[in-house]
Amino acid sequence: MAAPIDTVADDDALYVLTAVLLTPAQFPSVLGDDYPAACAALALEPYSEGYGLVLGQDGSGARWTVVVEDVSLVAVAIAAWDCGMDYDLSPDDRSVVCALPGWPLPVAVAAPGVAAPHDPLPDPEAEGTEPAPLTPPDTESWGPAQRRMGADEIAHQWTAWREQIDDETAFADPPGTDSTGGEATPGSGPEPASGSGPESAPGAGPGSEPVPEPDPRLDAPDPHPEAEVQGEGGIETEAGGDQADDAAVSPVTDSPSGVHPGIRRALAQAHDYIDAPPPPGRVRSSFATGEARMLRADGPGWSLVARTDDIAFILLDEEPGEVLPVGRGSELPGLLKGLDALAVRPA
């Protein structure tokens, strides 16, 4: 892949190491929650056609990210490399939008015959107007970028993560909750039989205390009913100190109902997306086995990854390295169906 192409960096050759797409349906999630945010991180206009990002080194070994408009060419190169085939990615100079110093993602390889990868030296003629070099997120810390990277990794390794979840134990109803994870409230329960009432209820004969009417405030449905949630703990991601196949579980702070408040917030905001669609790329749908789709959604402080025919996982900024499973229950299938309907999909 280290084939040289001409670029705008002092007419030096760029040795191509890898490339990624920057489109509404596929973009490096480390850059933002959605496509416009990812473009803004690179000072690019969020054109609907998208861009290709070509990562490489110049003749001195400096790291560069070349932004090109020829999305199809970059997509073909990525597909060929994924199949183990050689492909000479050489975008036409006319398709080059700009060259940005640094790399936004970690690259495990280096160009042969040049110095080790390093940031380009500042241009003395730029007088401090050059953009700061792009840098990959620090994997030793936890924040929005690492949270989104963790969700992407779960989507890529779904089977390995799913095998760690025992539905019978993970989604058992915590004390004080109903089968959907909501709080059990006085007066909630099976509806009385037709024709029954205070006067005909058992024990409501002469001399007995009348049975009070149920308080409608207690029986009102939750505007954001919950799916079944593992409330006692979550699986730690690699950023939290354990590998995906270690199945390590550590406690998280529970709300009184046994459902993490961050999960409630994430599910409620995901429900809101259905009524008020978010910016492009905030919800993305990709191929999965069978008839299912793989969903990725992000929001303020949370990331969700799910299969439309299975459970979901949620990652939160306030729970570093934790992966919180969400069972299907009665509400999750409808939520995932609604999100899939509005999600952007790869062309």
Strand partners, 134: 102
- 234 shares its domain with 271: yes
Looking at the fold, whether 36 and 100 belong to one and the same domain comes out as: yes
Q: Which of 42, 38, 284 is nearest to 151 (CA)?
A: 284
- Whether 196 is in a domain gets the answer no
Give the pLDDT band of residue 89 (cuts 50, 70, 90).
very high
Identify which has the larger pLDDT, 344 or 204: 344
Domain co-membership, 248 together with 315: yes
Give yes or no for residue 236 having a pLDDT over 90: no
Q: Report which of 254, 253, 272 is spatially closest to residue 177, judged by C-alpha positions.
A: 254
Q: Do the domain assignments include residue 188?
A: no
First-to-last C-alpha distance (Å) of the chain: 25
Percent of the chain with pLDDT over 70: 71
User: What pLDDT is recorded for position 271?
Assistant: 96
Please indicate, yes or no, if residue 54 is contained in any of the structural domains.
yes
Is pLDDT of 196 > 80?
Answer: no
Residue 202 lies in a domain: no
Residue 67 lies in a domain: yes
Is pLDDT above 50 for 251?
A: no
Residue 90 has pLDDT above 50, yes or no: yes
pLDDT one-digit tens code per residue, 202-230: 333 334 344 334 333 333 334 344 455 55
**Structural domain count, the chain:** 2
* Residue 295 sits in the same domain as residue 152: yes
As to burial, measured by CB atoms within 10 angstroms (0-12 exposed, 13-18 middle, 19+ buried), residue 242 is middle
pLDDT at 334 over 70: yes
Mean pLDDT of 229-251: 43
**Average pLDDT over the chain, rounded to an integer:** 79
Q: Are residues 79 and 155 in the same domain?
A: no
| Model confidence at 253: pLDDT above 60 | no
Residue, of 116 and 125, whose pLDDT is higher: 116
Question: Which of the pair, 125 or 65, is modelled with greater confidence?
Answer: 65
Q: Is 208 inside any structural domain? A: no
235 in the same domain as 160: yes
The pLDDT tens digits of the residues spanning 261-298 come to 999 999 999 999 999 999 999 999 999 999 999 999 99
Structural domain containing residue 322: 144-181+224-342
Let me know: does 152 contact 237? Beta carbons within 8 Å.
no
Residue 308 and residue 173 in one domain: yes
The answer for residues whose C-beta is within 8 angstroms of residue 80's C-beta and 6 or more apart is: 86, 87
Whether residues 295 and 157 share a domain: the answer is yes
pLDDT band at 122 (very low <50, low <70, confident <90, very high): confident
Answer yes or no: is 30 within a domain: yes
Does residue 155 share a domain with residue 37? no
pLDDT reading at 244 higher than 80: no
Q: Are residues 39 and 86 in the same domain?
A: yes
Please tell me whether residues 267 and 328 are part of one structural domain.
yes
Average pLDDT value for residue range 242-248? 37
Task: Compute, in degrees rounded to 10, the torsion defined by CA atoms 37, 63, 17, 10.
Answer: 100
Are 44 and 163 found together in one domain?
A: no
Rg (alpha carbons) of the chain, rounded to whole number: 26
Give the whole-angstrom CA distance, residue 219 versus residue 228: 20
pLDDT (tens digit per residue) in 162-175: 999 988 877 876 55
Give the integer Cα–Cα distance in Å for 65 and 233.
Answer: 40
139 in any annotated domain: no
Q: pLDDT for 44-54, tens place per residue?
A: 999 999 999 99
Domain closes at, from 91, 126, 161: 126
Q: How far apart are CA 137 and CA 343, in angstroms?
A: 26
Query: Residue 100 pLDDT more than 90?
Result: yes
